[in-house]
Structure 1
Amino acid sequence: MMATGPGMQGLVEREGVFRGEDGCLYIPGTRRPDGSYRKPKKVKEGYIPQDEQPVYENKGVKWLKDKPACPGLVIDPEPDTPVSKTTEKNRKKKEARKKAAEKKQTGESLGSGDTLTQMTDKLTTCSVSKDTSTVDIGKRLKNLRKRLAQIDSLKAKLDSGELENPDPDQIRKIERREEVIDEITELELQL
């Protein structure tokens, strides 16, 4: 097909672009609304006119287009697509986590084939022993001694008149002094 018009000799390469006599590609000249003529424009090889450029789509639009029409419909990716090592590793980790969560829910992780009801029966029949280590006893003693010191300082303030109107909580704290002393002596005997 031959291009026509002033300065437009050559073959049309495709819609909107033609190859001139010198072998270069040109956009043909057009006539402006006022009647003047626009010269042909030289373009590079592989030029795509703006009208034919694909419209830019951001990630959100692409996601909406890729989203399945039916909710819950999951289309598996094609097995021919190559998957990176890290993607494969992450997929395996995710599957392992799902399996562990399922085991936990179904009660398989209880051990030796016991069901949840069997395990609860065993727990109710056995006696519960108070298993506290020396570290826990030491911490408890430290806290009780600190509480006793607070009670003594509060009682001293009350006796000296520095604290005229004690709160009901403060009065209860002072009344529990004997209980704290008894608990301290019990714990000291356990050590």
Structure 2
Amino acid sequence: MYSNNIVTESGDTFIPASQRPDGTWRKARRVKEGYVPQEEVPLYESKGKQFMNRNTKPEPVKLSSGETAQRPIPGLFIIEDKEKKQGKKKNKNKVEEVTKQLQQVTVSEKVEVVQTDPAKKLKNLKKRLREVEALEEKLKNGLIPKPEPEQLTKIQRKNDLLLQIRELEKQIG
């Protein structure tokens, strides 16, 4: 039984009335036998955490291969990797090798122009021409009161688009 519980003559157990932080009072509550208040319920600990609390420092274990392993949790063996200790030195060597390789690399100034399919390019140019013509119509009808500078430059490129379309149509034949 918990110290703050009250047991009546009839054998009923009560939690006594108490004052809340805001000043109001809680009524006394009847509870069943064996009731444990939430504040007094012990926190759950996993088996691994219980083991770690019992053994503050795990002792190293010698394996049959002759290596030393740490055993923080039963059944788990952590083998110390000698390469990890030497890893920083290896990383420095790798960085130096990569920098040497980069110094040997030369960049050529030749630029290869990728040839696209003339039919695709013609289709794309016709699409752009349609967009320009639609924009011109909107300007004529007054749907766009203040055209943006990008829209005006797009309209100015109409002649260039027409020339490119004619050249491609000649190539395709």
**What range is the shorter-chain TM-score in?**
0.3 to 0.5
Larger proportion of strand: 2
* TM-score w.r.t. length of structure 1: 0.37
